[in-house]
Structure 1
Amino acid sequence: MYYVNRDQISARLNVISDLTDALRYIAEHWDGSLLQGLAQERALHMAIEIVTDVGSCIIDGFIMRDASSYEDIIEIIGGEGVFPAELHEPLLGLVRLRRPLVQDYYEWPRNELHPFTLSTPETLEAFQASVEAYMARELDA
């Protein structure tokens, strides 16, 4: 039997609604200011952390192979059918932003609207729906 920490997964997925609202607001009101640039960075970073945290919980709970990197988390849960194939590249691209945001932050172009700010809300919503459907399918069957 699996021990999947549904509370941890739900707590993280519940942040998605606020985060998608924030990303959409930033995109719609973009003015290139430092404040908006920093807000964009934090929102994208949170999106990455939600996806990787949820992915790690799923990997641990369903006893999947250990991930060797953030990208590997996406590979593993995608390969296990947690989300559909069309989400693979958007999620992988999002996770690949982690290094520039967290380690190379001094080079991040804060005055530019990043394309992922526009696409991430839809990606996160689809990810959430996919995770919820996967868990219902695997745990409630």
Structure 2
Amino acid sequence: MYYVNRQAIASRLRCIPELAEASARLAGEWKGELLQGLAQERCLHLALEIVTDIGSFLIDGFMMRDAGSYEDIVGVIAGENVIDEQAAGRLRALVALRRPLVQDYDLWQRPQLHPLTGELPALLTAFSESVKAYLRTELDPWEKQR
């Protein structure tokens, strides 16, 4: 039997709608202003943390292969069919932003709209749906046996 921290996963999934809305507004109203740049950084950062947190919970809970890096978390959940390869490619690009956003923030180009900002609403929504479908498929049969 698996112990999957469904509560922590659900808590992070609940953050996605607001983050998707904020990203869509930023992309649609972009003027390159300082506050927009800072908000964009935070949206991208939160998005990649949500993906890696949920991926880590899935890896631990379902005893999947250990991930060696943030990008590898995405690779593991793609390999376990939580997400498809197309989504995995875009999520790897998102997760690769962790270092620039967290460590090299002094070099980040705040006046520029990052291409992933406009993609976040669809990308995160699809990720959420994929995770929920995976949990239903993998855990519901166990729940019915109780």
Q: TM-score range by the shorter chain?
A: over 0.9
Superposed CA deviations along residues 112-141 of structure 1, whole A, max 9, x for unmatched, are: 011000112111110000000000000002
2:118 paired with 1:118: yes
* Alignment-derived partner of residue 144 in structure 2: none
In the alignment of these two chains, the number of paired residues is 141
* Alignment-derived partner of residue 25 in structure 2: 25
* Alignment-derived partner of residue 79 in structure 1: 79
Q: Which amino acid aligns with 2:71?
A: E
Shift of 1:88: 1.2
* Alignment-derived partner of residue 55 in structure 1: 55
* Alignment-derived partner of residue 91 in structure 2: 91
Sequence identity of aligned pairs in percent? 57
Q: Which amino acid aligns with 2:137?
A: R
Shift of 1:38: 0.2
Superposed CA deviations along residues 60-88 of structure 1, whole A, max 9, x for unmatched, are: 00011211110010010100000112211
Give 5+ residue unaligned stretches, structure 2. 142-146
Shift of 1:28: 1.0
Name the CA distance, whole Å, in 2 between partners of 1:112 and 1:33.
9
Superposition RMSD in Å: 0.6
SS in structure 2 opposite 1:83? coil
Shift of 1:48: 0.2
Give 5+ residue unaligned stretches, structure 1. none
2:137 paired with 1:137: yes
Detail structure 1 runs of 4+ shifted over 6 Å in the superposition.
none
